[in-house]
Amino acid sequence: DAGITQSPRHKVTETGTPVTLRCHQTENHRYMYWYRQDPGHGLRLIHYSYGVKDTDKGEVSDGYSVSRSKTEDFLLTLESATSSQTSVYFCAAGTSDEQFFGPGTRLTVL
């Protein structure tokens, strides 16, 4: 357990609504990441952060935004949820050599 929590753990929402997922870490890691995991695709990077207020896009960033105002918190926002964003979302935190993953959030967009 690397002290990473995600909230909520499960969410069902409707198309067009905004959704925010939260990742919280207690180990003071500099790097934090948001991934989505879908059958047949593996883990794909959405956005990452290399420090407070320092973020960058990953492979599948369209439709997502992030914010990191404190070292311990990394928020992922779906500005207007679509059915294609139904997925399991994993947050990770760590060093440049190792990532520790949170328990995941299962998001369903109807």
Partner 1 sequence: GQNIDQPTEMTATEGAIVQINCTYQTSGFNGLFWYQQHAGEAPTFLSYNVLDGLEEKGRFSSFLSRSKGYSYLLLKELQMKDSASYLCAVRPLGGSYIPTFGRGTSLIVHP
**What is the phi/psi pair of residue 99, to 5°?**
-115, 135
* Of the candidates 60, 16, 67, 21, the residue with the CA atom closest to the CA atom of residue 41: 60
Which range touches partner 1 (CB under 8 A), out of 10-18, 21-29, 71-79, 98-106?
98-106
Binding positions for partner 1, 37-56, rule CB under 8 A: 40-45, 48, 50, 56
Which range touches partner 1 (CB under 8 A), out of 10-18, 70-78, 79-87, 90-98?
90-98
Is residue 30 within 8 Å of 94, Cβ to Cβ?
A: no
CB of 96 vs partner 1, minimal distance in Å: 5
Cis peptide before 8 (omega within 30 of 0): yes
Per CB under 8 A, residues contacting partner 1 are 33, 35, 40-45, 48, 50, 56, 58-59, 90, 96-104
